[in-house]
Amino acid sequence: MRTFLTILILVLLATGCANDEVLRAAIEKDLRTSLSTGDSRAKVEALLQAKQLGFSFDEFNRRYQIRIDPKDKRIDQRVIMVYIYLDEAMCFKEVEVKNSYTLL
pLDDT higher for 27 or 11? Answer: 27
Q: What is the CA radius of gyration of the chain?
A: 16
Return the pLDDT at 75: 60
pTM over 0.75: yes
Strands 92-103 and 63-68: unpaired
Q: Do the Cβ atoms of 75 and 104 come closer than 8 Å?
A: yes
Return the pLDDT at 95: 97
Flag whether pLDDT at 61 surpasses 90: yes
Flag whether pLDDT at 5 surpasses 50: no
pLDDT higher for 11 or 53? Answer: 53
How far is 78 from 95, CA to CA, in rounded Å? 20
Return the pLDDT at 23: 84
pLDDT higher for 74 or 42? Answer: 42
Please state, rounded to an integer, the average pLDDT across all residues of the chain.
82
How far is 71 from 16, CA to CA, in rounded Å? 12
| Percent of the chain topping pLDDT 70 | 74
